[in-house]
């Protein structure tokens, strides 16, 4: 299976909407947000955030694709969480047993081989955890994302073929049954926030 078949990068060539604003193209969206990152890089308090990359502004901007990916602390994180997150409601019960299953996976999937990283985790191993704890559309934070395999996994939770290849049966309306034939989770992408100290990792992850 090639990566393009997996529809990971749904980049539009026409007008786009991003964080509530409309842009005629992805290029215009990127230029708009790059200017805002450039302004932030002049803010000495912003640059004092622990772990701030050691690098020239022009290099930080060159590998950023804001607001989706920034090679420095992302100024739009709060907007993203506000837009897509659901505030915790103590009256709404949330209970999950700890997920305990064999998640061993081979390392020869084309996504795994697309680039190397010293501690890469196969996305199919992560895919088994995400639906156990979350519903489609919910936010998943990975504070140590490396090359972003959690981001890949959250997207592929919407991909029927990928889920079936994990060994699950998928009903027509999107309910996924576990090995015992019991409803297990719902097909649908989750929204990932992948974060890492390493700009090299997040650059690969953003591709």
Which of these, 78, 71, 9, 8, lies nearest to 34 by C-alpha position? Answer: 71
| Sites for ligand SAM among residues 100-129 (CB under 6 A) | 117, 119-121
Which of these, 44, 42, 69, lies nearest to 58 by C-alpha position? Answer: 42
Binding part of the chain for ligand SAM, among 25-33, 85-93, 132-140, 146-154 by CB under 6 A, reads 146-154
Nearer Cβ to ligand SAM, position 11 or 118?
118
Nearer Cβ to ligand SAM, position 66 or 199?
199
* Rounded CA separation 199/207 (Å): 13
Alpha-carbon distances, residue 3 vs 51, 66, 117, 140, 167 (angstroms): 32, 23, 18, 22, 20
Binding part of the chain for ligand SAM, among 37-45, 85-93, 99-107, 141-149 by CB under 6 A, reads 141-149
- Provide CB contacts within 8 A for 113, sequence distance 6+: 107
Applying CB under 6 A, which of residues 66, 146, 151, 199 lies at the interface with ligand SAM? 146
Contacts to ligand SAM by CB under 6 A = 117, 119-121, 143-147, 149, 196-198, 201
């Amino acid at each position: 299976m090639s990566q393009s078949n997996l529809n990971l990068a749904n980049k539009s060539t026409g007008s786009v909407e991003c964080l509530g604003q409309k842009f005629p193209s992805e290029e215009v969206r990127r230029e708009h947000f790059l200017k805002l990152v450039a302004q932030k890089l002049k803010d000495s308090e912003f640059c004092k955030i622990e772990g701030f990359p050691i690098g020239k502004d022009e290099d930080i901007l060159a590998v950023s694709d804001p607001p989706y990916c920034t090679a420095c602390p992302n100024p739009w994180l709060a907007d993203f969480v506000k837009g897509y997150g659901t505030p915790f409601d103590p009256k709404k019960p949330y209970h999950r047993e700890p997920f305990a299953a064999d998640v061993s996976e081979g390392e020869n999937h084309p996504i795994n081989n697309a680039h190397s990283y010293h501690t890469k985790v196969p996305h199919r191993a992560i895919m088994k955890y995400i639906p156990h704890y979350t519903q489609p559309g919910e936010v998943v934070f990975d504070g140590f994302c490396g090359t972003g395999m959690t981001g890949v996994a959250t997207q592929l939770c919407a991909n029927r073929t990928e889920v079936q290849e994990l060994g699950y049966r998928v009903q027509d309306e999107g309910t996924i049954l576990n090995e015992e034939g019991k409803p297990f989770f719902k097909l649908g992408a989750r929204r990932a926030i992948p974060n890492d100290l390493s700009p090299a990792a997040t650059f690969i992850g953003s591709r």
